[in-house]
Structures are given as structure tokens and as C-alpha cells.
């Protein structure tokens, strides 16, 4: 290989000491041999990577400064050519910073049966999240087999039949008593395809419309008054039927709840026992929810509702704390407290405390609302309100006066 100069590109050949026309390059200029014996290592993997990017000390320090920022709303934007190592640099710096920080907890999202649109977030010690996930999967598999079997047992069907029979007997006794009362006044209570009907009765037989018209006027008037009186009693009884049906459905729901609790209670207790030592579950075992009410969906017009608004608990949770309906209670956690009255609610899931949102200071004894019990953290984007899981405890707060 030789170097050659084009005509007119500089001094004539022979006058430039750097380049000579058609002079071969020696082999030692084309190749430099490196003796491995002179290298202080055997394998390249033994070498320590050079810190950061060569020649990018200011960029590296800027990333380190950004990583140390503790306020929300700050971001890192790295600009550079493709292949310059931006992502690797940031990952290395973040990894190095993480090694100096406390190990973060595991975050697990679980279903919120009260409001499925707002799942609950559980904080577990590092490494416990995977075990909790596996335990929940085993629990679900157990429930799939245990729950159907519980509702196929003979004792469940027997209790269900008792409830059905009690409702049937209650209805029949009420109609039977009214029927006897009507017959004593010469009125027949008839069941027709259109429902119940009343008709005059004589000598054990229903009087036809023609025979009724043939009766004396005073007797017809007296019979008509008797029919109107019985009709009022019948209407009053018919108004009770929806209440009886509601009680019937409530008894069936309670039976189903008791049957399910008996069948799976030991499974849930076994799962809880594995996490009772955690501070959140031990100190504040109740999950606080703050739904809208039938009166308000926010604090707008809250000044019009001046009454004390109670916190609601399932009767089992209240009994476990020695509390009853109307007791003065203190709802508290490590953030604040709300002092109000207690209301029992069988429709609540055990382990849940309900305190409606949109309250004003005059709605509680302490002048505080659920806002005193929830975190005040904001969203990363836009610094807006975000959903937070809040844990509380409820205890007696002196005698009730409401």
C-alpha cells in the first residue's frame, strides 16, 4: 500500500518531507502487536467498568442531582444521540441510589367488595407480596370447592325450609284470622284469579248479586258497612305483606351469610393469622370507606343537614369492641380522629367502617370529617386528588347523647 499525491495538490514531489510519491508503508505502521503477558488481567470480565460516560461528567452529575430530589413533579429528560448510553447511565445511577435507600415495601392491590371501582392497596414488608399473592390464589381454590359444598349440605336445606315454612305460616295465619273475623260478620273472603274479594254470606253460602239486591235496604246497608270495614282490614294486612317478604329475604340472606362464614371462616382466619403481626392490621384493623349518601354527593348544601352523622359498623365488629347502637365513639388513626355516634349496619362487610363524605363540621362531635383520617398525598401528574386506602380503629368515647 502506498500514498500518492494528485497533481496540483501542493508542493512538487520530493519537496514535501511528509509525503513521498509511491513510498510503501512498513508493516509495523499497519499493525501493533499487544503482548498478553503485559496485561494485568486474564479476562475482560475482571475489569471494572468506567464510571459514567466518558466526557459526560456534567450530564452524570445532573442525573445524580435529579435522583436526590424528594419532591413530586420533577422528571429527568435525557437528550443525546442514539447509542450514546443514556438509558444505561440512568439505570446505573438509579440502581446505585436504590442500593443506599431502605428496601421499599411490596404493594398489593386487592378487590374492594364495597366499591369494586376503588381497589384496596395493601403495603407489605419487602418479599411478602409474592407470598401473599400465592396465599390468595390457594384461598380462591379452596373457596371454589368449599362454598358450593356448604350450600348442598342437609343442615342448610333444613334451615332454609324452616324459614320458608315460617313465612308461609305467618301469611296463612294472618289471612286465616281475617277470614274467621269476616265470616263472623257474615262476609266471605274469596280467592279469585284477580286476587282476594269480599262477598256477603248467608247460611254458609255466598249470596249472589241478585239475591243481595232482593234484601231489605237496611240489611243491604248494614252488610255493605261490614264489607267496607273488612276491606279496610284486608288492605292494612296487604300493606304488611311487602314487609313480611323483606323480612323473609333478610332471613335468607342471614342464613346464606352464616353458612358461608361457617364454611370459610377457618380458611380466612388462617390467612389473617399470617399477617396479624403487621403494624397496620394490628393497630388499625378497619378499612374506612366514605361513599356518597342519598342526601348529598359532596359537601354542597351540607349546611342544610344539621344532624349528627354516625359512623357505621357491622354488628360483629361492634360487639367485638363492646359497642352498641347509638354509642358515642371515636374513629381514629395516626393522622387524626372523628368523634360521633355509632350505627349498626348488617349490610356492611365485617372489617369496614363507613363514614359518609360531604359532611360539615357540625355533623360530628369533634368538628372533623373523614378528611382527617385519609392521606393528603396527590397524584404525580397534575397534583390532583387521588384515592388512598385508610385504616382506622373505633372505640368508645363516653356516653351517647344522640
In a domain, 132, yes or no: no
Opening angle at CA 82, ends 380 and 73, nearest 5:
10
Q: Residue 277 has which C-alpha cell? A: 403481626
Residue ranges making up the domain that contains 244: 154-273
Do 161 and 75 share a structural domain?
no
In sequence order, the β-bridge partners of residue 288 are: 353
Rounded Cα gap, residues 110 and 133, in angstroms: 10
State the pLDDT at residue 239. 79
Rounded Cα gap, residues 286 and 352, in angstroms: 5
Cβ neighbors of 149 (< 8 A, separation 6 or more) are 263
Encode pLDDT of 113-171 as tens digits: 766 777 777 778 888 889 999 999 999 999 999 999 999 999 989 999 998 888 888 88
Asked if residues 135 and 274 have their Cβ atoms less than 8 Å apart, the reply is: yes
Do 290 and 250 share a structural domain?
no
pLDDT mean by block of 10 residues, the chain; 402 residues: 47 54 75 82 80 76 84 80 83 86 82 73 82 92 91 90 87 77 71 69 69 70 75 76 84 89 87 75 79 66 73 92 91 88 92 88 89 75 66 77 42
Do 262 and 291 share a structural domain?
no
Do 50 and 13 share a structural domain?
yes
Residue 144 CB coordination number (10 Å):
9
Number of Cα atoms under 13 Å in the Cβ half of residue 218: 0
State the pLDDT at residue 383. 66
Asked if residues 329 and 395 have their Cβ atoms less than 8 Å apart, the reply is: yes
Rounded Cα gap, residues 93 and 14, in angstroms: 57
Asked if residues 162 and 252 have their Cβ atoms less than 8 Å apart, the reply is: no
Cβ neighbors of 97 (< 8 A, separation 6 or more) are 64, 67, 68
State the pLDDT at residue 1. 43
Cα end-to-end distance, the chain, whole Å:
105
Encode pLDDT of 158-217 as tens digits: 999 998 888 888 887 877 777 777 777 777 776 666 666 677 767 666 766 766 666 677
SS3 (DSSP) at 222: helix
Instruction: Classify 326 in phi/psi space as left (phi over 0), alpha (psi -120 to 50) or beta.
Output: left
Domain count, the chain: 3
Do 63 and 79 share a structural domain?
yes
Q: If you search the block for the grid coordinates 344522640, which residue do you land on? A: 402
DSSP 193: T
State the pLDDT at residue 339. 93
In a domain, 84, yes or no: yes
Rounded to two decimals, the pTM is: 0.45
State the pLDDT at residue 183. 72
Do 68 and 41 share a structural domain?
yes
Rounded Cα gap, residues 176 and 362, in angstroms: 52
State the pLDDT at residue 401. 44
CATH number at residue 303: 2.40.40.20
Do 377 and 297 share a structural domain?
yes
State the pLDDT at residue 98. 84
State the pLDDT at residue 3. 46
In a domain, 93, yes or no: yes
Q: Provide long-range contacts, Cβ within 8 A and 24+ apart, for 247-256.
A: 247/167, 248/163, 248/164, 248/167, 251/163, 251/166, 251/167, 252/160, 252/163, 254/346, 255/156, 255/159, 255/160, 255/163, 256/151
Q: Which H/E stretch holds residue 138?
A: helix 128-150
Residue 63 CB coordination number (10 Å):
21
Biggest alpha carbon–alpha carbon distance for the chain: 156
Rounded Cα gap, residues 151 and 139, in angstroms: 18
In a domain, 118, yes or no: no
Q: If you search the block for the grid coordinates 361513599, which residue do you land on? A: 291
State the pLDDT at residue 241. 79
State the pLDDT at residue 400. 43
Do 261 and 316 share a structural domain?
no
In a domain, 318, yes or no: yes
Do 220 and 199 share a structural domain?
yes
State the pLDDT at residue 190. 67
Rounded Cα gap, residues 274 and 279, in angstroms: 13
SS3 (DSSP) at 13: coil
In a domain, 146, yes or no: no
Do 367 and 268 share a structural domain?
no
SS3 (DSSP) at 220: helix
Asked if residues 20 and 13 have their Cβ atoms less than 8 Å apart, the reply is: yes
Amino acid at each position: 500500500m502506498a500514498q500518492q499525491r494528485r497533481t496540483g495538490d501542493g508542493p512538487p514531489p520530493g519537496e514535501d518531507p511528509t509525503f513521498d510519491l509511491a513510498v510503501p508503508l512498513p508493516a509495523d505502521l499497519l499493525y501493533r502487536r499487544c503482548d498478553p503477558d503485559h496485561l494485568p488481567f486474564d479476562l475482560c470480565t475482571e475489569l471494572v467498568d468506567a464510571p459514567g460516560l466518558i466526557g459526560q461528567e456534567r450530564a452524570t452529575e445532573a442525573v445524580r442531582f435529579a435522583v436526590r430530589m424528594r419532591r413530586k413533579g420533577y422528571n429527568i429528560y435525557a437528550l443525546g444521540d442514539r447509542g450514546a448510553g443514556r438509558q444505561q447511565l440512568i439505570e446505573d445511577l438509579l440502581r446505585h441510589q436504590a442500593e443506599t435507600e431502605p428496601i421499599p415495601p411490596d404493594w398489593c392491590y386487592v378487590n374492594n367488595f364495597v366499591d369494586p371501582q376503588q381497589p384496596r392497596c395493601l403495603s407489605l414488608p419487602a418479599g411478602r407480596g409474592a407470598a401473599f399473592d400465592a396465599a390468595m390464589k390457594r384461598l380462591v381454590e379452596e373457596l371454589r370447592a368449599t362454598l358450593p359444598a356448604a350450600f348442598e349440605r342437609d343442615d342448610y336445606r333444613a334451615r332454609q325450609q324452616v324459614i320458608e315454612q315460617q313465612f308461609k305460616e305467618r301469611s296463612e295465619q294472618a289471612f286465616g284470622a281475617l277470614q274467621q273475623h269476616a265470616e263472623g260478620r257474615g262476609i266471605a273472603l274469596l280467592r279469585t284469579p284477580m286476587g282476594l274479594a269480599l262477598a256477603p254470606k248467608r247460611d254458609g253460602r255466598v249470596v249472589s248479586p241478585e239475591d243481595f239486591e232482593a234484601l231489605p235496604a237496611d240489611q243491604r246497608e248494614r252488610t255493605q258497612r261490614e264489607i267496607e270495614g273488612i276491606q279496610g282490614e284486608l288492605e292494612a294486612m296487604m300493606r304488611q305483606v311487602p314487609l313480611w317478604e323483606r323480612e323473609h329475604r333478610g332471613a335468607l340472606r342471614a342464613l346464606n351469610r352464616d353458612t358461608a362464614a361457617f364454611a370459610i371462616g377457618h380458611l380466612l382466619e388462617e390467612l389473617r393469622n399470617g399477617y396479624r403481626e403487621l403494624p397496620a392490621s394490628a393497630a388499625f384493623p378497619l378499612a374506612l370507606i366514605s361513599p356518597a349518601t342519598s342526601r348529598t354527593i359532596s359537601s354542597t348544601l351540607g349546611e342544610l343537614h344539621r344532624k349528627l352523622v354516625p359512623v357505621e359498623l357491622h354488628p360483629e365488629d361492634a360487639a367485638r369492641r363492646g359497642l352498641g347502637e347509638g354509642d358515642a365513639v371515636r374513629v381514629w388513626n395516626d393522622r387524626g380522629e372523628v368523634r360521633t355516634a355509632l350505627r349498626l349496619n348488617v349490610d356492611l362487610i365485617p372489617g369496614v367502617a363507613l363514614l359518609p363524605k360531604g359532611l360539615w363540621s357540625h355533623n360530628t362531635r369533634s368538628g372533623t370529617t373523614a378528611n382527617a383520617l385519609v392521606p393528603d398525598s396527590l397524584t404525580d401528574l397534575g397534583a390532583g386528588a387521588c384515592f388512598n386506602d385508610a385504616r382506622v380503629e373505633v372505640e368508645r368515647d363516653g356516653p351517647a347523647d344522640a
